[in-house]
Amino acid sequence: MGYLAPEYAFSGVPTVKTDVNSFGVVVLEVASGRRPVDEERLVITDYVWDLWEKGMILEAADPKLMGHFNRMEMERTLIVGLSCAYPNCEKRPVMREAARMLKGESPIPVLPSKKPVLRIQSVLPEGCEEIMNFGGDIDGTPWSTPRTHFSKN
């Protein structure tokens, strides 16, 4: 998915939180020295979430730094990146708050121990129902795309 927010990739409707997602991916790129999607098609957010789940988030730091960085600042940066690229767009911070968190002017969010699953329920004609799950644990906050965003073909 790279820079595309999951909800945008599904619905094609951009929002302010879509930009926050892209910013989060850039933050993770800068901190880790990795591309948004690597040669093995591993998405950077999945890579950092996996390390977070293992309690090893600092392992995501750019290896070119050879450990020469402030550990608290690196952890803050990676957590803010994950927060901005959070699967559920409603739980992402606004850009102003993300910038304040990066500067240390605002507390960083508490992330769940496991990556939440994003549940996307499309609005289909009556009698049909489809739910798509995208990675992680279900955090109980699905969202629906309004029926007006789909053609009536």
- Write the pLDDT tens digit of every residue in 30-40: 999 999 888 88
Q: Give Cβ neighbours of residue 1 (< 8 Å, ≥ 6 apart).
A: 9, 37, 43, 45
**What pLDDT does residue 123 have?**
52
pLDDT value at position 55?
Answer: 97
CA atoms of 133 and 119, how far apart (whole Å)? 5
| Residue 99 confidence (pLDDT) | 97
Give the Cα separation of 21 and 89 in Å (integer): 8
Q: SS3 of 59, please?
A: helix
As a whole number, mean pLDDT of residues 23-32 equals 97
Mean pLDDT to the nearest integer, 4-24: 86
